[in-house]
A and B are shown apart, each in its own frame.
Chain A
Amino acid sequence: MSALRRSSPESGSHAGSGAFGRFAPMLYRPLASPLHATRAGIAALWALSLMTGALLLYHPLALAALIAAILLAGYGAGVGRELARALRTALIIGLPIVLVNVLVSREGLTVFARLGDLGPFGQGNLTVEALAYGGVIALKVTVLVLITALASLAIDPDALLRICRRLSFRSALTTSLAVRMLPLLAADAQRLAEAQRTRPDGAPRGARARAALLGAVVAGSLDRAMDVAATLEVRGFATAGRAPRQQRPWSRHDLAFLVSAVAVLALALLGRLTGVAAFTSYPLLHVPFGVGLLVLCAALALSVLLPFADRRGIEL
Chain B
Amino acid sequence: MSGAILSFEGVTYSYPGVQRAALDDVSFELEPGEFCLLAGLSGHGKSTLLRAACGLVPHFHGGSFAGRVRLAGLDTREHGPARLGTLAGALFQDPETQLVMSSVRSELALAQESRGQSAAAVARGVEEVALALGIDHLLDRPTHQLSGGEQQRVALGAALAGRPRVLLLDEPTSQLDPVAGDELIALLRRLNQESDTAILLAEHRLERCLSSADRVIAVRDGRIAHDGAPREFLEWAAGAEPALQTPGAKLFALAGLSPPPVGVKQARATLRRRGLLGEDASGGVGIGASGAAGGMRGAGDEDARGAPEVVRVAGPAARVRARVRARGGAALEVRHVWHEIPRGPAILRGVDLRVEPGESIALMGRNGAGKSTLLRHAAGLLAPTRGRIESSGRVALLLQNPGDYFLHDRLDREASPPALARAGLRGLEDRNPRDLSGGERQRLALAIVTDGEQDPAVLALDEPTRGMDRLAKAELAAHLQTRTQSGQAVIVATHDPEFACACATRAILLAEGRVIADGPTAELLAGGWYFATETARILGGAAGALAPESGAELLAARAATTATPLEAIG
Contacts and interface: CB of A to CB of B under 8 A. Distances in A.
Given A29-B145, A235-B111, A238-B82, A197 B56 contact: no
B232 interface: no
B284 to A, nearest CB: 37
Contacts of A14: 382-383
A15 B117 CA distance: 51
B118 interface: yes
A15 B382 contact: yes
Contact of B115 (A159, A196, A236): A236
A105 interface: no
Interface stretch (B29-37, B92-100, B477-485, B510-518): B92-100
B28 interface: no
Interface of A: 1-9, 11-16, 18, 20-21, 27-30, 156-159, 162, 165, 169, 173, 176-177, 179-180, 183-184, 191-192, 194-201, 204, 209, 212-213, 215-216, 219-220, 224, 227-247, 316
Q: Which 4 A-B pairs have the closest CB atoms?
A: A200-B452, A227-B97, A195-B404, A158-B106
B390 A5 contact: yes
Interface of B: 51, 54-56, 59-60, 80-86, 88-90, 92, 94, 96-103, 105-106, 110-111, 113-120, 122, 140-145, 158-159, 328-330, 333, 341, 344, 373, 376-377, 379-394, 396-399, 401, 403-408, 434, 448-452, 456
Nearest to A30: B140
B205 to A, nearest CB: 22
A180 B115 contact: no
Contact of A236 (B60, B111, B119, B396): B111
Nearest to A184: B96
A90 B243 CA distance: 60
Most buried by B among A165, A184, A195, A204: A195
Contacts of A230: 51, 56, 60, 92
A230 B333 CA distance: 47
A192 B406 CA distance: 9
A18 B382 CA distance: 8
A1 B392 contact: yes
A18 B373 CA distance: 10
A13 B383 contact: yes
Contacts of A227: 92, 94, 97-98
Given A6-B388, A12-B384, A227-B94, A243 B113 contact: yes
A220 B403 contact: yes
Contact of B381 (A18, A179, A240): A18
B85 A200 contact: no
Given A1-B329, A180-B101, A236-B82, 16 more contacts: A1-B392, A5-B390, A9-B386, A15-B380, A15-B382, A18-B382, A20-B341, A21-B344, A28-B102, A176-B101, A198-B399, A216-B406, A231-B92, A234-B81, A234-B89, A244-B122
8 contacts: A14-B383, A20-B382, A176-B101, A183-B144, A192-B404, A231-B100, A233-B60, A235-B158
Nearest to B390: A3
B452 A215 contact: no
A215 to B, nearest CB: 7
Given A28-B102, A200-B394, A236 B85 contact: yes
Given A224-B97, A239-B82, A239-B83, A180 B102 contact: yes
A224 B399 CA distance: 19
B451 A200 contact: yes
Contacts of B397: 198
A209 B145 CA distance: 33
Nearest to B120: A247
Nearest to A242: B116
Nearest to B405: A195
Contacts of B81: 233-234, 238
Contact of A200 (B51, B96, B396, B403): B396
B54 to A, nearest CB: 5
Nearest to A244: B119
A192 B445 CA distance: 13
A51 B66 CA distance: 59
Contacts of B434: 219
A195 B100 contact: no
B379 to A, nearest CB: 6
B142 A29 contact: yes
A8 B101 CA distance: 43
Given A11-B383, A231-B92, A316 B140 contact: yes
B155 to A, nearest CB: 8
Nearest to B378: A5
A191 B399 contact: yes
Given A194-B399, A235-B110, A176 B85 contact: no
A244 B451 contact: no
Nearest to A157: B102
B356 to A, nearest CB: 11
A158 to B, nearest CB: 4
Given A212-B407, A238-B80, A7 B114 contact: no
A9 B336 CA distance: 11
B100 A197 contact: no
B85 A235 contact: yes
A247 B122 CA distance: 12
Contacts of A242: 116
Contacts of A15: 380-383
Nearest to B143: A180
A176 B56 contact: no
B401 to A, nearest CB: 7
A234 B90 contact: yes
B407 A215 contact: yes
A177 B100 contact: yes
A26 to B, nearest CB: 13
A232 B159 CA distance: 11
A191 B401 contact: yes
A40 B459 CA distance: 51
Given A1-B329, A198-B396, A200-B451, A27 B144 contact: yes
Given A7-B383, A183-B144, A234-B81, A244 B117 contact: yes
B114 A240 contact: yes
A1 B328 contact: yes
B381 A197 contact: yes
A176 B110 CA distance: 11
Contacts of B116: 241-242, 244
Contacts of A224: 96-97
Q: Which of B89, B398, B403, B404 has the most CB of A within 10 A?
A: B404
Contacts of B403: 220
